[in-house]
């Protein structure tokens, strides 16, 4: 069901089991914008009960596929909410041409109020095409694959893979993400711009929310240390 994170921000948890047996915990974040409209960040496959709980919060107007990997359930969300507009990562323009987008992230102003939810790219990794989102009213930063915070892996195979990726039971950017960075100077500059925001909490798609009393901005700076070098 819905996970209340802070005012105007909720989450819905799920999981994705790979053929290898690795289980990735998932979170879709639901943001209520100033006019009461909802934006779904990185939708998962919602159950009927979860979709009804989202409907109770307000009308879904925007669906966001925020990078080149988080697109599997965007089509399902658009079928459930046919009046919603899709915004997708530029990494999906060629990869998922079937997902017709109203807006490609980074190409002009987004269709929602950017003063409430900023779309902030991590440049230098075009195949990943990651956009982070900063919810200005709550100081919440939404991440997709830019860092994991998985406290308890689901099984031994998951634990092994997260150890190899450098994210085992800690808030950290995975080595795989680092391998996708082709222009390290551009990625570092993007990360520094994001860290200039007054970040109070970090909401990852994979793992636990980083929130007070933890200094979320400092934790993110540490998690991004390899990218900032």
CB environment 102-130: b (16+ within 10 A), e (fewer): ebbbeeeebebeeebbbbbbbbbbeebbb
Q: What is the pLDDT of residue 9?
A: 98
Tens digits of residue pLDDT in 166-212: 999 999 999 999 999 999 999 999 999 999 999 999 999 999 999 99
Burial of 53 (0-12, 13-18, 19+ CB in 10 A): middle
- Domain 2-106+113-228: CATH class, spelled out: alpha beta
For residue 127, what pLDDT band results from cuts at 50, 70 and 90?
very high
CA-nearest of 105, 137, 110 to 9 is: 137
Select from 207, 206, 229, 202 the least CA-distant residue to 218.
Answer: 202
CA–CA separation, 23 vs 16, rounded Å?
6
Distance separating alpha carbons of residues 57 and 68, to the nearest angstrom? 28
Please write the tens of the pLDDT for every residue from 22-32: 999 999 999 99
Per the model's pLDDT, the better-predicted residue between 113 and 78 turns out to be 78
* pLDDT at residue 68 is higher than 90: yes
Q: Is the pTM of this model over 0.85?
A: yes
| pLDDT computed for residue 229 by the predictor | 86
CA 79 to chain centre: 21
Mean pLDDT, all residues of the chain: 96
């Amino acid at each position: 069901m819905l996970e209340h994170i802070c005012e105007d921000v909720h989450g819905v948890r799920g999981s994705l089991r790979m053929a290898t047996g690795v289980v990735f915990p998932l979170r879709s974040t639901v943001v209520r914008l100033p006019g009461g409209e909802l934006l779904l960040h990185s939708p998962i496959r919602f159950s009927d009960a979860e979709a009804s709980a989202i409907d109770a919060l307000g009308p879904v107007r925007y669906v966001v596929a925020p990078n080149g990997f988080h697109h599997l359930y965007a089509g399902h969300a658009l079928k459930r909410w046919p009046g919603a507009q899709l915004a997708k990562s530029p990494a999906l323009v060629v990869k998922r041409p079937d997902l017709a987008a109203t807006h490609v992230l980074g190409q002009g102003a987004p269709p929602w109020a950017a003063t409430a939810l900023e779309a902030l790219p991590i440049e230098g990794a075009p195949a990943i095409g990651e956009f982070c989102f900063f919810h200005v009213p709550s100081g919440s930063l939404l991440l997709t694959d830019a860092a994991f915070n998985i406290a308890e892996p689901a099984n031994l195979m998951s634990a092994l893979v997260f150890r190899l990726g450098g994210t085992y039971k800690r808030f950290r950017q995975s080595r795989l993400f680092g391998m996708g960075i082709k222009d390290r100077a551009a990625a570092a500059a993007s990360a520094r711009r994001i860290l200039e925001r007054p970040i109070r909490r970090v909401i990852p798609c994979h793992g636990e929310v980083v929130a007070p009393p933890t200094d979320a901005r400092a934790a993110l700076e540490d998690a991004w240390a390899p990218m900032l070098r």
